[in-house]
Amino acid sequence: MWFDSFFKNLFGSKNKKSTGRFVVVDTETTGLDLKKDKILSIGAVVVDQNHININERFECFIKQEYFNLASVRIHGIMKQGDQKKIAEKEALERFLDFVKDDVIVGHHICFDVRIINKSLTDYGYKKLKNKVLDTGYLYRKLKPFLGYPNQVKQLSLDDLCEDLQISRKGRHTASGDALITALAFIKIKKKLMKENIQKLNRYLYRC
């Protein structure tokens, strides 16, 4: 899978000493309606310090009866596609085991957390209580220092890729977007530190 080879080529196989674990998460879904749409895929990678831990990554594709053909043009996940799919309940259990109680990072992350929570409650599980960091929100904090005017529109992940010079390889896959977001998160963290905005704790919240 491209995800494995890309990781090895980009980061090598050496482990980094951990002083704090962030789990960067992305989902692909049948749409954006929290009431009716379903999760098709969950991807996650782990950031320790300012490094992506290549030995900790998560990816699963989920069997769903409900399907929206319009969204296939974005994520490419077919109902009867080539990806090995597992039951939603199993996917959620694996994800909970992976994410533990660590801080979750994502781009517009509250959508991902809320649709995961919707699925969790459907199976009788408690909602995620993890604190989150949103790369879109964090990047806005850099705008005054980077010389950008205040923007009304939401910054897309593509906007961050362009501004931070990050490859879009794997875009619109859960694992690919998680990796892209992790790279953006690391760059944003470094820029925040350069501008003496070092404490991420002030930007933590729950969805």
Alpha helices in 42-173 (DSSP H): 69-75, 88-99, 109-122, 135-146, 157-164
CA 59, 64, 66 angle in degrees (round to 5)? 135
Q: Which of 51, 75, 108, 172 is catalytic?
A: 172
Rounded to whole angstroms, the Cα distance separating 7 from 183 reads 12
Q: Any residues with CB less than 8 A from the CB of 148 and at least 6 apart, and which?
A: none
Q: What is the per-residue burial (b if ≥16 Cβ within 10 Å, else e) of 83-114?
A: bebeebeebbeebeebbeeebbbbbbbeebbe
Count of C-beta atoms within a 10 Å radius of residue 27: 24
Strand partners of residue 27: 42
The two three-digit tokens of residue 135, written as one number = 């790369």
Q: Are 66 and 38 in contact (CB under 8 A)?
A: yes
Pairwise CA distance, residues 112 & 151, whole Å: 23
Q: Is residue 107 annotated as a catalytic residue, yes or no?
A: no
Which residues does the annotation mark as catalytic?
172
